[in-house]
Amino acid sequence: MLRVVDGAVKKAYNGKRAIHWKEIFAGEKAFAKYGNYLPKETPAQIAEFRISIKGPLTTPVGGGFRSLNVTLRQVLDLYSCIRPVSYICGVPSPMKWPEKLDIVIFRENTEDVYSGVEFEAGSREAQRLIELLESMGKHVLPGSSIGIKPISRERTERLVRMAIQYALEHKRKSVTLVHKGNIMKYTEGYFKKWGYEVAVGEFRSLVVTEEELWQGASSEGKIIVKDRIADAMFQQLLLRPDEYDVIATTNLNGDYLSDAAAAQVGGLGMAPGANVREDVALFEATHGTAPKYAGMDKVNPGSLILSAVMMLEYMGWNEAATMIRQALEKTIVQKKVTYDLARQLGDVKPLKTSEFASALIENL
């Protein structure tokens, strides 16, 4: 990713611009160097320097330390995880018309069941909570683990506001609120309610709701705001992908939905993302550390490269961003791809990560 970005910036601006990279440590590398998976300087520097890009970080399951990714998002209040998912020509896909999917997912990043309010089965805290719930007439099986799912008006509003602003700035057609409010009425259901309230309360002249359309209103020059129940949304993206555009959703729904959507256009190796608040942006690949491939110079750097494209666009360096996007597409059309895409294309010899980068640089 570094070689590709530096190569594109050099070429696009004839050496008049350059990125001065600064390495900030997190995860296993930070542990080896400082004995700490997330040194306190790391979030402080991400906030100070304002634009950063990171590789994935390992998180143990069912114990051990808390996800560093989730911690970074929460400590820095990077409340919106933005994941564009669209088709790049030449990428093998299980879909008949993968190009019909062109969405941008805004996933709330700080609350929901990811807020870290969890109590282990058998702990004193879990027991006390179960007793408290019993006293409020709610029965939870003794000995259960318990997780809390907070969804607030304030955090829902700012996420949905950012999604609508994005849709307006990028001339998108609709914003869909995805929720499971039919079951979790006061959390997911209120995400929907507060989401619509922001839409009509703050953007009245610029939006029309789907319900208003049913009653005869016109959508001319306006963004349509609609909502879908999360489970139905998965099949909608498969069966009617072109009816969706910008999506605003809660943390867990967004996590699931973005991986599923990525699979429709070539898989996790090609899915970029960013964690943002108004003044800080941390770009990152959607995928994890793929531990079985670590150190093998094998995995697809496409996700991180496309995250860097988002970063360059955020910086306003659109010429370099466009150059990378076009070269990436050209490289894939030439069937110069890493193992994941080669596997789907069949009869193609996979390139290593570094060889793919070199091929892309040649195509800049």
SS3 91: coil
Q: How many CA atoms lie within 13 A of 217 on its CB side?
A: 16
CA 68 from centre of chain: 15
Q: Provide the pairing of β-strand 146-147 with 281-285.
A: unpaired
Q: Does 30 bind ligand NAP (CB under 6 A)?
A: no
Report in angstroms how near the CB of residue 211 gets to ligand NAP at its nearest.
Answer: 36
Catalytic residue among 37, 255, 339, 340: 255
SS3 264: helix
279 is catalytic: no
Which residue's CB is nearer to ligand NAP, number 181 or number 269? Answer: 269
Which residue's CB is nearer to ligand NAP, number 216 or number 295? Answer: 295
180 is catalytic: yes
Q: Does 88 bind ligand NAP (CB under 6 A)?
A: no
Which residue's CB is nearer to ligand NAP, number 194 or number 339? Answer: 339
Residues in contact with ligand NAP, shown as a per-residue x/- string from 290 to 319 under the rule CB under 6 A: xx-------xx--x----------------
State the virtual CA torsion across 121, 126, 132, 135 in degrees, nearest 10. Answer: 10
Interactions with ligand NAP, residue window 115-144 (CB under 6 A): none
Which residue's CB is nearer to ligand NAP, number 217 or number 290? Answer: 290
Report in angstroms how near the CB of residue 69 gets to ligand NAP at its nearest.
Answer: 4
How far, in Å, are 108, 195, 198, 206 from residue 154 at the CA level?
A: 12, 10, 10, 22
Helix then strand then coil, % of the chain, to nearest 5: 50, 15, 40
231 is catalytic: yes
Distance CA 115, CA 150 (A): 7
Q: Provide the pairing of β-strand 80-86 with 281-285.
A: unpaired
How far, in Å, are 61, 92, 321, 332 from residue 89 at the CA level?
A: 36, 9, 17, 8
Residue at shortest CB range from ligand NAP: 288
Q: Does 289 bind ligand NAP (CB under 6 A)?
A: yes
Residue closest to 286 by CA, chosen among 79, 22, 81? 81
37 is catalytic: no
Report in angstroms how near the CB of residue 304 gets to ligand NAP at its nearest.
Answer: 8
Catalytic residue among 114, 190, 244, 339: 114
Piece of the chain touching ligand NAP by CB under 6 A; list 109-117, 136-144, 173-181, 288-296: 288-296
Among 52, 69, 93, 156, binds ligand NAP (CB under 6 A): 69
How far, in Å, are 204, 215, 266, 300 from residue 303 at the CA level?
A: 36, 42, 11, 7
The C-alpha angle with vertex 261 and arms to 300 and 191, in degrees rounded to 5, equals: 130
Residues in contact with ligand NAP, shown as a per-residue x/- string from 232 to 271 under the rule CB under 6 A: ------------------------------------xx--
Piece of the chain touching ligand NAP by CB under 6 A; list 29-37, 280-288, 316-324, 329-337: 280-288
Q: What are the tokens at 151? A: 């969804």
Among 5, 46, 57, 262, binds ligand NAP (CB under 6 A): 57
Q: Does 331 bind ligand NAP (CB under 6 A)?
A: no
Which positions touch ligand NAP (CB under 6 A)? 56-59, 69, 268-269, 284, 287-291, 299-300, 303, 340
Q: Catalytic residues, which ones?
A: 114, 180, 231, 255
